[in-house]
Amino acid sequence: MRRAVGLGVGVGILLLVCVLSIMVGAKPVPVGDVWHGLFQNSGVGNDVIVHDVRVPRTLLGLLVGVALGLSGAVMQGLTRNPLAEPGLLGVNAGAAAAVVSAIAFLGVSDVGDFVWFAFAGAAVVSVVVYVLGGSRSATPVRLALAGTAATAALYGYVNAVQLLNSAALDQLRFWTVGSLASADMATVRRVAPFILLGVVIALLIARPLNAMEMGDDTARALGANLNRTRLLAMLAVTLMCGAATAACGPIVFIGLMVPYLVRAITGPDMRWILPYAAVLSPVLLLGSDIVGRIVARPSELQVGIVTALVGGPVFIHLVRRKRMAKL
């Protein structure tokens, strides 16, 4: 009952943050105008700001927050490591490598087109990591090592291309910071199917992930199919984190910090960790985006910078505490 009530409170906070995300910006929008812009759009004034700018940005932040939070929770369960995060599989690095290649060699300049290249890069790298990790004999350690090696190699490639191609450097710089500023409904429609499919897969494997947290031998004794669970977990992470990274660039700390904090509320049960992470991660992401709009008016601070500035010190404080959440 306590966990159910807490989840309900989290949903209420998320709704409040969504409303604030639509209201707050370089030009504040009153609550009445928000309602008018949502349901009686006239195509002028605040209605345009609400309908064409703030709503797509809020929806994208909601989707990306859910994707990053669930990806981090799944990664922590898959690797049995409370400090694991989505980039451990090389998803962010694969997306960045694909985007910089598209810019430097194919002349792609439209941010909307980055989504497809970034998602394709993330998917290819995830497959490579799974194969390098041993495929059917994959273990958490092998997957982590393969992901780390792929990330190092790909970021080396990204840096080399940027140094040799100034156009790629200029266009990639904004994307790699992590931002919701360029959100539109077209981007939301592009990434939503991938993220929603990943969410469904992640929620369906909560029970076998619980079994895997007790060790491979115990999980087998409980009837869990380890190879299938790992494959589905990687597929879910690739779909969610790949699409989120493609849309907004790599945003740090959301997928690491929120699932870690959630364990202090729910305990180690993945059937509760996943829903909590899906609710509280967009709260943190949209809240950081709101802060970024306020502190640098009339300009704004990108959400990736805010999450790094806030998340770093907070997470250092948490991991130094004596009572740490354990898997």
Distance from C-alpha of 301 to C-alpha of 177, rounded to nearest angstrom? 10
Rg (CA), the chain: 20
CA terminus-to-terminus distance, the chain:
22
d(CA 304, CA 178): 4
CA distance 124 to 18: 34
Judge contact between 281 and 13, C-beta under 8 A. no
- The pTM of this model reads 0.87
Half-sphere exposure of 182 (CA within 13 A, CB side): 17
pLDDT (average), residues 249-263? 87
Average pLDDT over residues 237-246: 87
Q: What's residue 8's pLDDT?
A: 95
pLDDT for the residue 257: 86
Cα dihedral value 254, 299, 53, 49, nearest 10: 140
- Check: CB of residue 243 under 8 Å from CB of residue 111: no
Read off the DSSP letter of residue 86. Answer: G
Say yes or no to pLDDT of 301 above 80.
yes
Per residue in 43-68, pLDDT (tens digit) is 777 888 888 889 999 999 999 999 99
Residue 323 has pLDDT above 60, yes or no: no
The residue behind tokens 């945003």 is: 251
Q: What is the CB neighbour count within 10 angstroms for residue 315?
A: 16
Average pLDDT, the chain: 84
Among 118, 191, 257, CA closest to 126: 118
**Candidate ranges 63-77, 93-107, 118-132, 155-169; pick with highest mean pLDDT:** 63-77
pLDDT for the residue numbered 174: 67
Write down the pLDDT at residue 325: 44
pLDDT in tens, 165-198: 776 676 677 677 778 887 888 889 988 999 999 9
**Position with higher pLDDT, 280 vs 80:** 280
More reliable by pLDDT, 81 or 134: 81
pLDDT, greater one: 35 or 268: 268
241-266 burial string, b = 16+ CB within 10 Å, else e?
bbbbbbbbbbbbbbbbbbbbbbbebb
Residue 56 DSSP class: H
pLDDT digits (tens, 9 = 90+) for 131-154: 887 666 666 677 778 888 888 999
pLDDT class of 319 with cuts at 50, 70, 90: low
327 pLDDT band, cuts 50/70/90, is very low
